[in-house]
Amino acid sequence: AEDLQFCARKLCGAKLWENESGKSWRQSVRQMEYEILLVSQFTLFGEVTNKKHVPDFKASMKTAEATRTYDEFKALVAREYGGEARIKDGVFGAKMAVSLVNDGPVTLVVDSPRHRAEREAGARGEEPDEREAEAKA
């Protein structure tokens, strides 16, 4: 829950739009009073690392856990933003066609400090048990 709260706060507070003076990266979704479209990606996490080039979804959350996590995140985003009226989403786990206008060549990752540290350790080639030992030290 702590990781989800952190991500909800970051999502609602991220300065992604320009201000009235045209200065980039100065206004958040909350300040702009925009809507938020949440599209779940929990069950889509996969890798193509095998010789057959077939996606492997072993690292993804199981459906029940992913559904609970997504619902909790949506509630946290709504609470952080001040209500559900501006929070939109689709049907969890459904195949959806989403149309949008992507304004700019930017992709941002919003992740909790714990998951960021795990990802960075993995990028350095450390094994999970090495990371756990380092975290305990």
CA 109 to centroid of chain Cα atoms: 7
Question: Which residue, 14, 41, 38, 10, is CA-closest to 28?
Answer: 14
Rounded Cα distance, 131 and 126, in Å: 7
Rounded Cα distance, 61 and 63, in Å: 6
Tell me how crowded residue 97 is: count the other CB atoms within 10 A of its CB: 5
Q: Which of 43, 49, 67, 107 is catalytic?
A: 43
User: DSSP character for 98?
Assistant: -
43 catalytic per annotation: yes
Rounded Cα distance, 47 and 43, in Å: 12
Residue 37's beta-bridge partner residues? 88
Residue 30 near residue 12 (C-beta atoms within 8 A): yes
Would you name the residues annotated as active-site residues?
Answer: 43
